[in-house]
Amino acid sequence: MFGSTQLNRRNHSVQKLVSILFGVVTCLLVVPVLTIMTVLVYKGGPNISFEFLFSAPTNGMTAGGIFPALLGTIWLVVVALIFSVPLGVATAVYLSEYASDTWLTRLINLAIINLAGVPSIVHALFGLGAFVIFAGFGTSILAASLTLGIMTLPVVIVATRESLQAVPPEFRMACWGMGATRWQTIRKVVLPNAMSGILTGVILEVSRTAGETAPIMFTGAAFFLPFLPQGILDQTMAMSLHLFVVSTQVPGVPETLPYSVALVLVSMVLIMNAASIVLRAYVRGQKKW
């Protein structure tokens, strides 16, 4: 029989110490999230009701519900996804499957990296100039959603590109060997096998889009509107801006109201993310490799 040596015992101790350290770090990341959710549920949960979710604010936004802001946020997220996901996926496909290493592709990659690091307020000013004024969309859902879509494009591009590159190259070679064109290979083999990674980018985009305030303040979100938006060229209320307003700008707001708005906003993001995660898990389960 072989006995454990001093080196083995030391390696085992180091491994155990590293495992404990990583476990503590994980707990430190989870505890703040659980604490925030506990506070929101405790202080805002009792105020959540059907009337709160499906009625408009009243009494100078100190009472009533959040339905216009809730519906407006859904408008903004959906329109932003319709714009940014196809564009982001197409860009990633070009960079991963078609483009060679030239000065143009390096310039595009640099632009993507820089776009990811631009502050949201700068995106807001860009959206104001490009979509509200130059394109003539005015302060509208379309202008705000396009601004949010531009801001979140790097997330979709990077996630899609990484998932495309994770597909084994042997899949492509097998298709080419059977006479398939490059586009047929991408459409029938590469994209389906990369779909779970693409959905990861969509999940991250939904989370950021629903919670952003600065980009929509200048482009489409309103302090208060007595009517619901009828189309993408109308202004709308939004949950993130509504939370900011009732927390800092409106006097006489009940203490529980901002917590209730925050709880609904976080819950809405979690529900959207959960739906995307379930879809991603289903797609990932269809893989044969």
CATH number, domain containing residue 237: 1.10.3720.10
pLDDT tens digit sequence for 140-180: 999 999 999 999 999 899 889 988 988 888 888 888 888 88
Residue 28 lies in a domain: no
What ranges in the chain are assigned the alpha helix state H? 6-44, 50-53, 67-93, 103-117, 120-127, 141-166, 169-177, 182-185, 191-211, 214-217, 239-248, 256-285
Q: Is residue 1 scored above 60 in pLDDT?
A: no
Residue 8 lies in a domain: no
| pLDDT for residue 289 | 58
pLDDT tens digit sequence for 197-213: 888 888 888 888 888 88
Residue 65 lies in a domain: yes
**90: pLDDT confidence band, cut at 50, 70 and 90?**
very high
| 8 Å CB contact between 175 and 42 | no
Question: Looking at the 3D structure of the chain, how many domains does it have?
Answer: 1
pLDDT tens digit sequence for 32-85: 888 988 999 999 888 888 888 898 888 888 888 899 999 999 999 999 999 999
Domain of residue 68, residue span: 50-285
Q: What predicted TM-score, i.e. pTM, was given to this entire model?
A: 0.85
Average pLDDT, the chain: 87
- Tokens for 215, please give them: 């980009």
